[in-house]
Structure 1
Amino acid sequence: MNDTDETGKPLPSRRDALATGLALLAGSSPLVASAHTAAPLAGKSVKRGIAYDLANKEDLRVLSPGVSWWYDWGLKPNPGAPANYRRKYDMDFYSMLWNDSYDHATVVAWLKANPKIKFLLVLNEPNLVEQANKTPQQAAAFWPGYERIAAETGVKIVGPQITWGTMAGYGDPVAWMDAFYAAYRAANGGRDPRIDYLGFHWYDYGLSGQLDRLTKYGKSFWVTEFANWHWQSDGAQIDTLEKQMAQMTDMVSVCEQRADVFRYAWFTGRWNPDPHFSSLLTSPGTGQLTALGKHYLSLPFTKARP
């Protein structure tokens, strides 16, 4: 398993963290698929996205029949993406502030110049030391910066992008979030932080149960990274394309059927090597979907993109 994907995004050491999270769901078989179904609709899902650095028109063209949005962990789209992506491909790009290293004026100017970017993703996996690596207290200190950007531009704040992590004392996303709320309130006269939507990442069985644990915060979700990378040799490991397809079907159904999931994004576009069969796209420049990519675009949905 590489330390980064081909876009350069660090791939965290998730195995122990995911095993810990999954243990909370003990008692439900990981092999039992959801029975959710959705009636066929014309068009494409307004919720369905991809977490990937789309860098050329071929990729946007082939994804556009079934994918409505993407992000690339940065403020702007890849320079290789066509500037007319929204008009030509009917796809939205959403900016992300990965941590607190950004220039306020630059971010505000970009968002004002691109008013169709209605949502701002913030703080990528703060309790993973391989990712943003921010304690709840650190995040509480710089969160008002996100709030100022939202106030000046009108964007909605989506984040933090929480998951099961590797930070001592805060591996559980609920432990991190509780401490974050407490630290923010203490520093801001008891006021809650502005969070318009809560982000979540998950790479195993039991997505719906994980989201249930986070409903205590009263926010709708963006599942901004998901796939199933279950690796333990326990009979449930994801080691074939067919198993990943089955899990994609189940996880997409959860996201489509839950009214509290506003958006979701599969991870990822391309990855080589790809031990869990997660890639939606074949070789760069070919403009072709993998079998999994075709499956993703074909899955039923509950609300069409307007």
Structure 2
Amino acid sequence: MRPALPGRVSGLTPGKPARKTLACLLLGKRDVCTRILTFKEDMPMMLRKLSAQLRTLATPALLALLLGLSIAPAWAADKSAKRGIAYDISSPNDLSALSSGVSWWYNWSPKPHDRLASYDYASMYGVDFIPMVWNDNVDDGQLKLYLQAHPAIRYLLVINEPNLLDQANMTPEAAARFWPRLEQIAAQTGVKLVGPAMNWGTMAGYGDPVLWLDAFYAAYRAMNQNRDPQIDYLAFHWYDYGLAGMLDRLARYGKPVWVTEFANWHGLDDGLQIDSLAKQKQQMADMVATLEGRADVFRYAWFTGRMTQDPHFSSLLSDEGRLTELGQYYLSLPYSE
């Protein structure tokens, strides 16, 4: 699903003089080291500048030294490469709060929020933005220009919930006609195509995502001399029990998977409804363990960051720059190496 989108570090610990001198001698970067090791918590603007400098100076020796001094930059954090969030992050403070345990995010749009446009978020926070082509209403030329201007972008999410009438709302045939345009964009920019992002839907005859995908493959082959579409990764969304079973069903396509939205919103009055934070935390732990443990899962993204109405206790953020209890829990969960 896509929510309505609005318009469109902790401090470093100063080093002791003896360690500061040693660091400068070892690195031959006395001016940079001095500024890093005398950093004060009341100088947030300097942090952004130093993060960029650290990125250019990064070597194994420097990283080891920084870790030894307990002032490792955020982008050097030890965290899951799979773990992400589906949310339109608009605040650098929110991104910073999430950065210790989240490696990527997307916002159902080709570009990050305008408030983050000037930030080198990959260097500053170690978090990648993944663009999305939500449906076929896209300016191919502008998208290509954006991707070519940002060569670090390696993936493109495509077609959000085509079998939901209030989302992308595309029949398998319509998606098959659109797909060659995506293939051309991928060929000209080098990105991998991730999608369509399936869910259980409301489209007549295609509520089951597997039925929609089967029809999409058939339509594409009929239009393209029996050739399969370029799908580098499948994507799907999950809001109930039984995540592993759905992953098993998708194995028939032989593609690695991104779970680009997930939480448990089971609402039936059957004793299994998710109506407390404790229940959501247990479901989060179970699902993350499944996603981390499976080789066929490439990435996953919790839904979502912040919701005004949150009956299933799934928000990771509270006030700006502050994690909820669930957010802290998500960042702390174990992951596979």
Could you tell me the TM-score, scaled by structure 2's length?
0.78
- 1:114-155 Cα shifts (integer Å, max 9, x gaps): 011100000000001110000001100110010000000000
| Offset at residue 83 of structure 1 (A) | 1.6
- The 5-angstrom pairing of residues 28-43 of structure 1 reads 43=78
Letter in 2 for 1:89: Y
Contact preservation (8 Å) 1:7, 1:52: no
| Offset at residue 167 of structure 1 (A) | 0.4
Secondary structure in structure 1 of the residue aligned to 2:115: coil
User: Could you say which residue in structure 2 is the equivalent of 1:212?
Assistant: 248
- 1:30-77 Cα shifts (integer Å, max 9, x gaps): xxxxxxxxxxxx800000000000101100110000000000000000
| Offset at residue 5 of structure 1 (A) | 3.9
Residues in 1 aligned to 2:86 and 2:228: alpha-carbon distance in whole angstroms: 29
Relative to 1, partners in 2 of residues 1:93 and 1:271: Cα closer, same or farther, differing over 3 Å?
same
Secondary structure in structure 2 of the residue aligned to 1:161: strand
User: Could you say which residue in structure 2 is the equivalent of 1:196?
Assistant: 232
User: Could you say which residue in structure 2 is the equivalent of 1:224?
Assistant: 260
Letter in 2 for 1:206: G
Residues in 2 aligned to 1:147 and 1:211: alpha-carbon distance in whole angstroms: 25
Residues in 1 aligned to 2:158 and 2:2: alpha-carbon distance in whole angstroms: 20
User: Could you say which residue in structure 1 is the equivalent of 2:120?
Assistant: 84
Secondary structure in structure 2 of the residue aligned to 1:80: helix
Aligned with residue 316 of structure 2, among 264, 272, 280: 280
Residues in 2 aligned to 1:53 and 1:176: alpha-carbon distance in whole angstroms: 27
Residues in 2 aligned to 1:70 and 1:278: alpha-carbon distance in whole angstroms: 16
Residues in 2 aligned to 1:270 and 1:56: alpha-carbon distance in whole angstroms: 12
Aligned with residue 130 of structure 2, among 80, 89, 94: 94
- 1:1-31 Cα shifts (integer Å, max 9, x gaps): xx9746369xxxxxxxxxxxxxxxxxxxxxx
Q: Which has the higher contact order (CA 8 A, sep 6+)?
A: 1
Aligned with residue 193 of structure 2, among 140, 150, 157: 157
Residues in 2 aligned to 1:6 and 1:139: alpha-carbon distance in whole angstroms: 23
Residues in 2 aligned to 1:143 and 1:257: alpha-carbon distance in whole angstroms: 31
Letter in 1 for 2:295: A
Secondary structure in structure 2 of the residue aligned to 1:264: strand
Residues in 2 aligned to 1:219 and 1:263: alpha-carbon distance in whole angstroms: 13
Aligned with residue 95 of structure 2, among 60, 67, 73: 60
Relative to 1, partners in 2 of residues 1:6 and 1:99: Cα closer, same or farther, differing over 3 Å?
closer
1:262 aligns with 2:260: no
Contact preservation (8 Å) 1:6, 1:272: no
1:47 aligns with 2:45: no
Question: Structure 1 unaligned runs (5+)?
Answer: 10-41
Secondary structure in structure 1 of the residue aligned to 2:114: coil
Residues in 2 aligned to 1:165 and 1:211: alpha-carbon distance in whole angstroms: 17
Letter in 2 for 1:69: W
Residues in 2 aligned to 1:102 and 1:257: alpha-carbon distance in whole angstroms: 36
Letter in 2 for 1:71: Y
Computed over aligned residues only, the root mean square deviation of the Cα atoms, in angstroms, reads 1.4
Residues in 2 aligned to 1:96 and 1:6: alpha-carbon distance in whole angstroms: 15
Secondary structure in structure 2 of the residue aligned to 1:262: strand
- The 5-angstrom pairing of residues 291-302 of structure 1 reads 291-302=325-336
Contact preservation (8 Å) 1:6, 1:271: no
1:117 aligns with 2:115: no
1:178 aligns with 2:214: yes
Percentage of identical aligned residues: 61
Could you tell me the TM-score, scaled by structure 1's length?
0.85
Residues in 2 aligned to 1:6 and 1:137: alpha-carbon distance in whole angstroms: 27
Secondary structure in structure 1 of the residue aligned to 2:330: helix
- 1:259-292 Cα shifts (integer Å, max 9, x gaps): 0000000000000110000000002x3x110000
Secondary structure in structure 1 of the residue aligned to 2:251: helix
Question: Structure 2 unaligned runs (5+)?
Answer: 8-76
Residues in 1 aligned to 2:305 and 2:260: alpha-carbon distance in whole angstroms: 14
Contact preservation (8 Å) 1:204, 1:230: yes
Secondary structure in structure 1 of the residue aligned to 2:195: strand
Contact preservation (8 Å) 2:262, 2:302: yes
